[in-house]
Amino acid sequence: MLVGIIPLLAVVTLAHASEPVALSGKAMGTTWSVKWIQPAAPLAPALLERRVAERIEQLEQQFSTYRPESVLARFNASGGTDWIPVPPELAQVTRQARDLSVLTGGAYDATVHPLVQLWGFGTQRRDGVLPEVAEIAQAWALVDWRQLEVRTAPPALRKTRAGITADFSSMAKGFTADAVSELLGVLGAPNHLVLIGGDVRSGGAGGEGTGWRVAIEQPVETAVQVAAVVGLNGEALSTSGDYRNFFQAGGRRYGHIIDPRTGRPVSGELAAVSVIAASGARSSALATALFVLGAEEGLRLATAEGWAVLFQLRSEAKITRRATPEFEQRLRDLEIRVSGPKSPTAEKGR
């Protein structure tokens, strides 16, 4: 589950621009919304709403683990190890997931599905009852990204071990946001903002030309509080955290993000990870992967790779943050774009 994204729609000041047009709906177990700046030849909202809903439905029918008739659910239910044809989008996501598994040393693993189900974050809840050690071991034995193979021409998936199942929830919504963004561009609305659950994908630079301003929540369960505001220009932003989807047992919190290397929910002081990337599929999956890696190891990897990432940690009943240099630069860049460069005199007096 991805959380923590708040779009900030500032008043448009460009003479030729208009206020964004907004649409919203429900799909993929969450909500979606689309905002766009009307082009010179305005687009009919009803047409965009229909086309966007159709595209989201098409992809949900591929990726859903809740619909027994979805492409992924039917693949998961298959008992053999033969190649099974799938749509190109599902093959593309599987390829990206495998690449990220390699990069993170298995911290990201799409075959974590049996553990997600076991811990009660899938189709059935556990209501605070912990699984037995033997149950964890049994489900964990079916988690290994190397045993899920993919080819793209023709697109197909294959299990090298019967019983392997996949769950692309940590990437599918971001991928779908990318697909909707692409659709809006084709339909003639290149300047837009797409939100699906906690994943946002932008197109263009917003009404003011300084980027679409989006706020990142603080990971608290009370009223919404803003941790940071960033500007997006054709980029994506995703946040992954454990402060909305969790249960408690024995005085301990168990979040929905499972560490495929241990078979158990991630534990520790990390509360949320936010990632800016070129695509929603990338930002969404990276947010989950870095959350699994944790604050220290995740920050080292993100810094080494040059990613723009914000880590928020629980520390003595308060939230502290750590960010990569690239993320900090994004904050400075937005400040300059909004307020303008500081004069030499102002800089000298700081």
Average pLDDT of the segment spanning 51-57: 97
Q: Domain check: are 38 and 70 in the same one? A: no
**What percent of the chain shows pLDDT beyond 90?**
73
pLDDT value of position 334:
77
Q: Domain check: are 139 and 223 in the same one? A: no
Better pLDDT: 344 or 72: 72
Q: Domain check: are 271 and 212 in the same one? A: yes
Residue ending a domain, choose from 136, 169, 202: 169
Check whether 67 has a pLDDT greater than 80. Answer: yes
Domain containing residue 111: CATH number: 1.10.3980.10
Check whether 90 has a pLDDT greater than 80. Answer: yes
Find, among 168, 167, 183, the residue nearest to 32 by Cα.
183
**In the chain, where does DSSP find H-type helix?**
45-63, 71-77, 88-103, 113-118, 133-140, 169-187, 280-293, 295-305, 325-339, 344-348
Q: Domain check: are 249 and 291 in the same one? A: yes
110-141: pLDDT as tens digits: 999 999 999 999 887 877 789 999 999 999 99
Q: Domain check: are 71 and 155 in the same one? A: yes
- Whole-angstrom distance, CA of residue 78 vs CA of residue 98: 20
- Whole-angstrom distance, CA of residue 314 vs CA of residue 318: 6
pLDDT value of position 19:
80
pLDDT value of position 6:
53
**Residue 72 domain-assigned (yes or no):** yes
**Residue 49 domain-assigned (yes or no):** no
pLDDT value of position 339:
53
**Residue 86 domain-assigned (yes or no):** yes
CB 49 within 8 A of CB 184: no
pTM over 0.95: no
Confidence of residue 5 (pLDDT cuts 50, 70, 90): low
Least confident of 139-153, 196-210, 275-289: 196-210
Q: Domain check: are 34 and 156 in the same one? A: no
Average pLDDT for the chain = 88
- Whole-angstrom distance, CA of residue 115 vs CA of residue 203: 36
Number of domains in the chain: 2
Q: Domain check: are 147 and 221 in the same one? A: no
Q: What is the DSSP letter of 128?
A: T
**Residue 159 domain-assigned (yes or no):** yes
Confidence of residue 57 (pLDDT cuts 50, 70, 90): very high
Average pLDDT of the segment spanning 128-156: 95
Check whether 276 has a pLDDT greater than 60. Answer: yes
**Residue 92 domain-assigned (yes or no):** yes
Check whether 3 has a pLDDT greater than 50. Answer: no
Confidence of residue 344 (pLDDT cuts 50, 70, 90): very low
Determine the 3-state secondary structure of 156 from DSSP: strand
CB 123 within 8 A of CB 213: no
**Residue 184 domain-assigned (yes or no):** no
pLDDT value of position 337:
56
Residues 6 or more apart in contact with residue 18 via CB below 8 angstroms: 12, 37, 38, 207
Residue ending a domain, choose from 169, 203, 236: 169
Domain containing residue 27: CATH number: 3.10.520.10
Check whether 17 has a pLDDT greater than 80. Answer: no
Average pLDDT of the segment spanning 99-116: 97
Check whether 350 has a pLDDT greater than 50. Answer: no
pLDDT value of position 16:
39
- For residue 227, how many other CB atoms are within 10 A of its CB? 18
CB 247 within 8 A of CB 131: no
Residue 161 sits in which domain range? 63-169
- Whole-angstrom distance, CA of residue 41 vs CA of residue 231: 26
Confidence of residue 223 (pLDDT cuts 50, 70, 90): low
Residue ending a domain, choose from 141, 169, 197: 169
Find, among 201, 170, 203, the residue nearest to 280 by Cα.
201
**Residue 196 domain-assigned (yes or no):** yes
pLDDT value of position 336:
56
pLDDT value of position 349:
32
Check whether 172 has a pLDDT greater than 60. Answer: yes
Q: Domain check: are 157 and 114 in the same one? A: yes
Q: Domain check: are 84 and 123 in the same one? A: yes
Q: Domain check: are 127 and 89 in the same one? A: yes
Residues 6 or more apart in contact with residue 78 via CB below 8 angstroms: 84, 159
**Residue 55 domain-assigned (yes or no):** no
Residues of the chain by 3-state class (helix, strand, coil), percent to 5 = 35, 25, 35
pLDDT value of position 13:
29
Average pLDDT of the segment spanning 91-105: 97
Q: List Cα–Cα distances, 277 to 237, 291, 305, 319, in angstroms.
A: 6, 16, 12, 24
Q: Domain check: are 9 and 131 in the same one? A: no
Check whether 144 has a pLDDT greater than 90. Answer: yes
pLDDT winner (highest mean) among 98-112, 217-231, 336-350: 98-112
pLDDT value of position 4:
53
Q: Domain check: are 37 and 133 in the same one? A: no
